[in-house]
């Protein structure tokens, strides 16, 4: 019987098919791996595939340029391995033993050239990670070396390497390859966050929430900071915003800190895949409260999604960051807020995701801290978001926006000193499935446009007007009268369709009569039905 012809895996035709194919293949590796290990295995491979593809593309570009200039093969061989020709273009150097071609050729455990006995594919991948880190100092200590462990099925790992090879991410040019790989990486980060449930929330902020922050702040220059950066989603969306508005990514510098080692590594890889300089994430992970790695740096933009309501944190009552009051020991919400305020440069702006309780809590001195911050005129906008945006938590959330300068000037043509914009966006969004909600592009744009109209920014497309049920510009006096509660629903009132002008007493009387009439009608129908049933019995 003749041997069967080997069928090569086909390249998925759409991004959705590609994601689904990779996820199903990656799922084969689960076995005895924990969710966290599983995530690191897959995302490490995605990173290695990307840097190898980017290196190959840059190498071919160098060769083409040198040939066009008349260089011969020997001269090209002398020049094509110069690290500066790669790193100067945002490309990592990938030694031969780390290139995807080498891994793919040996994915089935066949002896590599000059090696006896054959190394496992896991051992080859670990060696590749070491080689990439040696060749690129900014990656030292970042990449996972976990592929040759007993709990990883080497046969399935080899199959996964084959599948990534056949995906052919790099066929459409360097920038497109980066976009494709970045999208796949983000897909996996989101998928793992959903798979890990509450644990996943530590490294992943829903993209729509990040986009709301980016849309309002418009970070296009200067220093951009996230004190609890997770997988780096705030920085990725900033780079996308700049690209969409035809800006120059070199106009920003990112700074971040992350306390969990695995998540810090994840952020470093994420930024690298998106072509973002990651030196600002520091040489290692660390607790922002215990040791601020950027203590002497003032930031132009701060964007953060701190862990909600954490009770065990590195509290020092004499910390100079507590300008508006010492945060309680059993809740770090106002510690995060004051840390962020302490980082803002003159003219700096910030957007911070918080649990809804932060807007009105008065326990353990939080109400007094909030009052001081409001009276300092640092709050520019409060946005109440819809529920179920975070799969990892059912806690309703909001976004606080701060501004060091609300006067008429560079940041807007309208003086908003002594005012706060309240936006109630709880009715926006759509259900992705039974457990998760998302905001549409139109929802995000509506929130952003409202703020820009209120502030009179360059991007404003209309004049601002209060909209009952959605937005309201309130004075500090009004906020003080509400005992410094910052819940948007207190200020925006009812939507116009609900505010029909009917006095409440009259409305209650009318509705009561209508309800009693409905009861009477129901009783009449019940009597008719009973009579008919008696005839049948």
Q: The domain spanning residue 282 has which CATH number?
A: 3.40.50.150
Query: Do 420 and 370 have their domain in common?
Result: yes
Query: Do 170 and 80 have their domain in common?
Result: yes
Domain count, the chain: 3
pLDDT score for 143: 92
**Residue 5 domain-assigned (yes or no):** no
Helix, strand or coil, per DSSP, at residue 272:
helix
Query: Do 71 and 152 have their domain in common?
Result: yes
pLDDT score for 463: 96
Could you tell me which residues are beta bridge partners of residue 402?
A: 350, 379
> For residue 379, what is the enclosing H or E element?
strand 379-384
pLDDT score for 501: 57
Mean pLDDT confidence for 364-380: 97
pLDDT in tens, 125-171: 999 999 999 999 888 888 999 999 888 888 888 888 887 776 655 43
Residue 9, pLDDT > 50, answer no
Mean pLDDT confidence for 313-332: 96
Query: Do 378 and 431 have their domain in common?
Result: yes
Helix, strand or coil, per DSSP, at residue 130:
helix
Mean pLDDT confidence for 299-322: 94
Query: Do 238 and 287 have their domain in common?
Result: yes
Q: Which residues contact 153 (CB under 8 A, 6 or more apart)?
A: 28, 29, 31
Out of 161, 193, 225, a domain closes at 193
pLDDT score for 152: 87
Out of 166, 193, 220, a domain closes at 193
CA dist., res. 328 & res. 311, Å (int): 9
Query: Do 214 and 268 have their domain in common?
Result: yes
**Residue 356 domain-assigned (yes or no):** yes
Residue range(s) defining the domain that contains residue 381:
206-492
pLDDT in tens, 235-246: 999 998 998 888
Residue 133 CA from chain centroid, whole number: 26
Q: The domain spanning residue 169 has which CATH number?
A: 1.20.1260.30
Query: Do 215 and 304 have their domain in common?
Result: yes
Query: Do 426 and 355 have their domain in common?
Result: yes
pLDDT in tens, 218-271: 999 999 999 999 889 899 999 989 988 888 888 999 999 999 888 898 889 888
Query: Do 466 and 509 have their domain in common?
Result: no
Predicted structure pTM score: 0.81
Query: Do 409 and 435 have their domain in common?
Result: yes
pLDDT score for 197: 57
CA dist., res. 110 & res. 38, Å (int): 25
Confidence of residue 297 (pLDDT cuts 50, 70, 90): very high
**Residue 10 domain-assigned (yes or no):** no
Residue 273, pLDDT > 50, answer yes
Query: Do 220 and 162 have their domain in common?
Result: no
CA dist., res. 430 & res. 441, Å (int): 11
pLDDT in tens, 425-475: 999 999 988 878 999 999 999 999 999 999 999 999 999 999 999 999 999
Peptide bond into 117 cis (omega under 30): yes
CA dist., res. 508 & res. 486, Å (int): 30
CA dist., res. 447 & res. 216, Å (int): 8
Contact by Cβ (8 Å): 427, 365: no
Query: Do 108 and 241 have their domain in common?
Result: no
């Amino acid at each position: 019987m003749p041997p069967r012809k080997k069928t090569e895996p086909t390249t998925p035709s759409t991004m959705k098919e590609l994601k689904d194919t990779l996820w199903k293949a990656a799922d084969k590796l689960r076995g005895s791996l924990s969710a966290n290990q599983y995530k690191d295995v897959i995302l490490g491979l995605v990173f290695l595939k990307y840097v190898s593809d980017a290196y190959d593309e840059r190498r071919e570009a160098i060769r083409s340029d040198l040939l066009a200039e008349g260089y011969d093969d020997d001269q090209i061989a002398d020049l094509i391995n110069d690290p500066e020709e790669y790193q100067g273009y945002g490309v990592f150097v990938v030694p031969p033993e780390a290139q995807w071609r080498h891994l793919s050729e040996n994915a089935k455990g066949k002896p590599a050239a000059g090696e006896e006995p054959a190394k496992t594919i896991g051992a080859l991948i670990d060696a590749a990670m070491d080689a990439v880190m040696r060749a690129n100092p900014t990656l030292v200590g970042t990449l996972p070396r976990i592929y040759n462990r007993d709990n990883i099925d080497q046969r399935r790992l080899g199959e996964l390497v084959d599948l990534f090879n056949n995906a052919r991410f790099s066929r459409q040019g360097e920038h497109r390859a980066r976009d494709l790989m970045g999208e796949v990486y983000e897909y996996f980060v989101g998928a793992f966050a959903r798979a890990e449930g509450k644990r996943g929330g530590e490294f992943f902020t829903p993209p729509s929430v990040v986009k709301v922050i980016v849309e309002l702040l418009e970070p296009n220059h200067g220093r951009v900071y996230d004190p609890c950066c997770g997988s780096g989603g705030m920085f990725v969306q900033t780079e996308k915003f700049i690209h969409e508005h035809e800006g120059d990514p070199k106009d920003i510098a990112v700074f971040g800190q992350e306390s969990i080692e695995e998540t810090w590594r994840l952020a470093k890889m994420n930024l690298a895949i998106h072509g973002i300089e990651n030196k600002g994430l520091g040489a290692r992970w660390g607790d922002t409260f215990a040791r601020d790695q950027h203590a002497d740096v003032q930031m132009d933009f701060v964007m953060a999604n701190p862990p909600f309501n954490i009770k065990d944190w590195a509290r020092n009552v004499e910390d100079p960051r507590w300008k508006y009051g010492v945060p309680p020991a059993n809740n770090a919400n106002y510690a995060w807020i004051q840390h962020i305020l302490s980082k803002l440069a003159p003219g700096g702006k910030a957007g911070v995701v918080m649990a809804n309780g932060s807007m009105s809590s008065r326990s353990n001195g939080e109400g007094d801290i909030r009052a001081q911050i409001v009276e300092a005129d640092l709050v520019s906008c409060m946005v109440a978001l819809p529920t179920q945006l975070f799969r990892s938590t059912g806690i309703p959330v909001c976004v606080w926006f701060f501004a060091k300068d609300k006067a008429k000037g560079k940041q807007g043509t309208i003086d908003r000193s002594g005012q706060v914009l309240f936006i109630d966006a709880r009715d926006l969004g759509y259900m992705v499935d039974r457990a998760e909600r998302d905001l549409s592009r139109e929802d995000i744009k509506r929130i952003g446009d409202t703020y820009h109209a209120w502030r009179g920014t360059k991007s404003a497309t209309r004049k601002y007007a209060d909209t009952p049920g959605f937005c309201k510009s309130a004075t500090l006096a009004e906020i003080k009268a509400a005992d410094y509660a910052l819940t948007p629903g207190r200020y925006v009132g009812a939507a116009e369709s609900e505010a029909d002008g009917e006095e409440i007493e009259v409305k209650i009387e009318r509705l009561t009569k209508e309800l009693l009439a409905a009861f009477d009608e129901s009783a009449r129908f019940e009597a008719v039905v009973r009579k008919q049933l008696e005839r049948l019995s």
